[in-house]
Chain A
Amino acid sequence: MTATLLLVQVLNGLQFGILLFLVAAGLTLVFGVMDFINLAHGVQYMIGAYLGATLAALTGSFWFGLLLALPAALVFGLLLEVLVFRHFYERDHLSQVLATFGVILVLNQGVKAVFGAAPMQMPLPEALSGGVRIMEGLLYPSYRLAILAAGLVTAGLLWFLVERTKLGMLVRAGASNAPMLSALGVDVRRLFMMVFGFGAMLAGFAGAMAAPILSVEPGMGDNLLILAFVVIVIGGIGSIRGAFLAALIVGLVETIGRSMMPDLMRLFLDPSAARQTGAALASMLIYIVMAAILAFRPAGLFPVRT
C-alpha cells in the first residue's frame, strides 16, 4: 500500500468516525444523563434521513430540507418521549430495552407503509456536488469534507454546551444525582425531556447529513446503532469527549482494518483464503479493540460516573 492510499484511507476513516460521532453523541447523552437505554436511537437517525429526503424533495433544495428536518426530528423525538419513553424512566433496563425495541419494529414498518419499501434518495447540494482530486483517478467528494466539518463544529458546540453553560451544568448535575437536583428545585422531568429532544435532533441531523451518500431505506439505522453502542461503551457512557475520541478510533480501525487485513493475512495464507478470512477478521476488529480497551479501562476512556 502506498503512502497516498494510506492517507486516503485515514481520511475515509476519520470521516466515517465523524458520522458515527453524530449518531453516538445523542445516544451517550440520553444513556449517560438519564440512564435510559434507547435502542430506538437508530430509527430516529432513519427518521431524520427520511425527513431530510422528503423535505428536500418538497422544497426542491437540500439546504431547506436539512434545515426543516432538524425541528421536525426534534418534534418527532419529543412526541416519542411523551407517548412512550417517559413512562419507562423509572423502570429497569430490560423494560426499556423491550419498549424501545418495540418502537424500532413499529417505526421500521411505519416508514415502509408511508414511503414504500424501495430505497429513497436525497440529492447532493449543488455547491458540494464536486470533489477534490486527492489521488490519481479518485475524487474525494466535497460533501464528505462537509460532513467532516459539520461533525467537528457539532462536537465543539456540544462540548461548549455541556461544559460551559448553565444548562450544561444542570445536565451534568442531573447525571450524577437526579433526586438531589430535583430537591434543589430544578424540574428534572423537563430537563430530561429537553435532553431527549436534543438527542433525537442530533440523530436526525446525522441521518439527514448521511442521506445524500447512503441509501435511505427502512432499517438503515439498525446496523449503525450497534456501532454507536460500541462507540459510547469505549468512550465512557455519558461522555461527549469520550464519544468523540471513540468514534474516531472505531472509524479508523474499521476502515484501515478492512483495507489492510486481507493483505496482512496474505503473509500466512493463500490469496483466496486470505481475502475471506481477512474480510471476516476486519469486521471483528472493532469488537476486539473494544474488548482490549475495556480490559484496561472497564468504564471506558472517559468515565463520567465513578
Chain B
Amino acid sequence: MGIETKPALARRGILAGGAALLAAPALRAQGAPIKVGLVAVLTGPQAALGTQLRDGWTLGLRHLENRLGGRPVETIVIDDELRPDVAVTKVRAALERDRVDFVVGVVFSNILQAIMRPVTEANTFLISTNAGPSTFAGRGCNPFFFATSYNNDQVHSVMGQAAQDAGYRRVFLLTPNYQAGRDAMAGFKSRFQGQVVDEVYVPLTHVDFSAELARIAALRPDAVFTFMPGGLGVNLVRQYRQAGLQNIPFLSTFTVDEATLPAQGEAALGFFSGANWAPNMENEQNRRFVRDMEAQFNYVPATYAAQSYDTAMLLDSAVRRVGGNLADKNALRQAIAAADFRSVRGAFRFGANQYPVQDFWLCQVVRRPDGRFQTQTVRRVLEANVDPWAGECRMPGRV
C-alpha cells in the first residue's frame, strides 16, 4: 500500500500519536468521549434506509447508556446524500477536524468504495453496517475494514439455493440494469441449477412494470427472482399483485423488507426474501431490540437497523476488551475481530476477511396480529456461510 512512503500521512500519524499522548491523562479520568462518524443516506429517495440505519445505532447507544466500553460516546451523523464526492468530503472533515475514532454505517456500496481509502489510510477503523461489496471481501480486504452485514453475493445466492431446494425448474429473473443488478443475477445463478427462462433488465428509474409482468405471464415460470430496492420494489410488488400473478412464487432480495412494507402492505403478503435476520427471531437480544425500536421510532425495524444495533454492541465489547485504550490499533483490531457480543441474529463471528460468517434464512412477509407487516423466518437456507470471496483475501496479521 505504501503508507509509510507518504510523508503527509506519516505526519498525520505523528499528529495522531501526539493527540493520543495528549489525550492519555484525560482518558484515565474517563472524560474524553469516543467519537464515532455515522455515515448514512438521509436525503433523497433512499433516505428511509439511512434513517433505519441511524435509528438502529441510536437505540444501541441508548441501551448502552450512551457509553462504549464504559467511555462516553459522541456520534457525528454524516449524510452522504448518496453522492460519493459528498461522502468523501464530509468523511475527510470528520477524520481531520473532528478526529473520529471510528467510522460506521453506509447503506450503499458505491459510497463505501469512495470512503474506503480516506478512512483506512488514516488508520481508522471503518465498520460497514450494511454495504457489503465483493471488492473488499477478496483481494481488496483491509485490516481496518469490518462488515457487520454480509457480502452482497451471499444474500442473492440464498434465494438461488432456496429456489433449488423448493424444486423450481424454470425461473424468471428481473433486476435493474446496473452493477448490483447484474451481481444479483450472478449470485442467484451461482446456486440455482434449473433453467433461467428469461433475464430482464429494467432502467433504475423504472416505474411501470406492466410490460415485464405480461412477459412473465406469457412464460409461466415456476418462480420469479428479483432484486428491486426501495421504490422500485414498491411499484413492482403492488403491480405484481394487481396483475394477479401472486400464484407464481415471488423470490426477492432487498425488495420486500420493513423499510418498504408500510407502502407495499397487503400486496406483499406471502412474498419471499432472503436475509441474515428477521424481526421474529427468538432470542432475548432481538426481542428487546424490536420492542424498543417500535416503541421509540414507531416502525418495525429492518436489517439496516438490526445490523447497526449489532455494531454498537460490537464496538462496546471491543472498547471494553482493550480497557478503553484506542491507541493500540493491533489490540483494538483483535478485540473487534473477537466479536464478543450477543447479536440479535444469534450466532455471529468474523471470518478471515473480517466479513461475518453467519446463517442465512428464507423469509416471508406476514401480517402481525397488530396489523403491521414484517418478514418472518421460514427456514434456514445456509448455515455458518462464508462468502465466496474470503479465499482470495490475504489479510496482514499486524497493521
Contacts and interface: CB of A to CB of B under 8 A. Distances in A.
Interface string A198-217: 00000000000000111111
Given A112-B47, A217-B231, A118 B203 contact: no
A121 B261 CA distance: 10
Interface in A98-134: 108-109, 112, 116-121, 124, 131, 133
Interface stretch (B145-153, B209-217, B358-366): B209-217
A225 to B, nearest CB: 11
Interface string A137-175: 111110110000000000000000000000000000000
Contacts of B230: 119, 217
B208 to A, nearest CB: 5
Interface stretch (A180-188, A189-197, A255-263, A292-300): A255-263
A54 interface: no
A44 interface: no
B234 A121 contact: yes
B214 A8 contact: yes
Interface in B285-337: 299
Contacts of A109: 43
B238 A213 contact: yes
A212 B289 CA distance: 33
A61 interface: no
Contacts of A275: 199-201
Interface string B179-219: 00010000000000000000111110101101111110110
Interface stretch (A9-17, A29-37, A228-236): A9-17
B339 interface: no
A176 interface: no
A120 B232 CA distance: 13
Interface residues of A, number: 54
Contact of A224 (B50, B207, B212, B214): B207
Contacts of B214: 5, 8-9, 12, 135, 138, 259
B47 to A, nearest CB: 4
A220 interface: yes
A46 B200 CA distance: 28
Given A213-B242, A275-B200, A279-B200, A2 B210 contact: no
A120 B259 CA distance: 11
Given A9-B214, A138-B217, A276 B243 contact: no
Interface stretch (B65-73, B86-94, B125-133, B262-270): B262-270
Contact of B207 (A5, A121, A223, A258): A223
Interface residues of B, number: 47
Given A12-B210, A131-B242, A137-B245, A283 B45 contact: no
B58 interface: no
A118 B220 contact: no
A17 B248 CA distance: 28
Given A121-B264, A139-B242, A2 B218 contact: yes
Interface string B26-67: 000000000000000011110110110000000000000000
B239 interface: yes
A143 B242 contact: yes
A255 B212 CA distance: 9
A119 B48 contact: yes
16 contacts: A5-B218, A12-B208, A15-B210, A117-B51, A121-B238, A121-B265, A131-B243, A138-B214, A138-B245, A213-B242, A214-B235, A215-B235, A218-B45, A219-B44, A258-B211, A275-B199
Given A212-B238, A279-B200, 7 more contacts: A120-B263, A124-B242, A133-B244, A139-B243, A213-B235, A214-B208, A215-B207
Interface of A: 1-2, 4-5, 8-9, 12-13, 15-16, 19, 108-109, 112, 116-121, 124, 131, 133, 135-141, 143-144, 212-220, 223-224, 255-256, 258-259, 262, 272, 275-276, 279-280, 283
